[in-house]
Amino acid sequence: MENTVSTKSIILNNGLYYGVVLILSSLIVYALGMHLDPTGGYINFAIMAAAIIAFPIIGMSTFQKANGGFLTWGQGVKIGVGIIIIGTLVSIVYQHLFTTFLEPEFYAQVEEVTRKGLMDAGLTEDQIEAQVEMQSKFQGTIIGDAIGLLFMAFVGFVVSAIIAAVKKKSEEETY
């Protein structure tokens, strides 16, 4: 059986949906006024963790169904990582729009919360300044975005590799 199913549309569709889920979770946390609260971060993290597992499964299942029930490990990893990268790029664009238009003082607010937390932890003023300076080098910058994208691609690879190993089914296995 020839592989006639294209992964491109599956990756794009599910990647966009993944990105929209990340954006909606961020907007909900923001609307609840929890965007600077650790609880809001936990909520976003939980939703992201569930989505980073669910969307590669959905994408691989869609491909497998369209491909006569077959899915190789490589196809599964390609689909999963592609979905995570597309969704992460959508999320990065949203984050820049959020911090530019919706909440331009966001990073200043984060710095203030960070300073308070570090003071409460008993750090000296020099230690606090060093921490805040390091934090500001990555917030809203191309370097920070690139590191975030690479990290999410790695996490997407690990998750997708595990899911693809479980879901794989080749033509040779059916004979």
Report yes or no: 65 and 44 within 8 Å, Cβ to Cβ.
no
Residue 103 has pLDDT above 90, yes or no: no
Percent of the chain, pLDDT > 70? Answer: 96
Pick left, alpha or beta for residue 140 (phi over 0 → left; psi -120 to 50 → alpha; otherwise beta): left
Terminal CA-CA length for the chain: 13
The per-residue pLDDT for 48 is 96
Residue identified by tokens 């999410």 is 152
pLDDT tens per residue across span 18-68 = 999 999 999 999 999 999 999 999 999 999 999 999 999 999 999 999 999
Residue type, 40: G
- For the entire predicted model, the pTM comes to 0.90
The per-residue pLDDT for 3 is 52
Quickly state the pLDDT bin for 139 (edges 50, 70, 90).
Answer: confident
Residues 125-145 have a mean pLDDT of 90
Quickly state the pLDDT bin for 1 (edges 50, 70, 90).
Answer: very low
- Average pLDDT over all residues of the chain: 92
The per-residue pLDDT for 138 is 86
Residues 99-116 have a mean pLDDT of 90
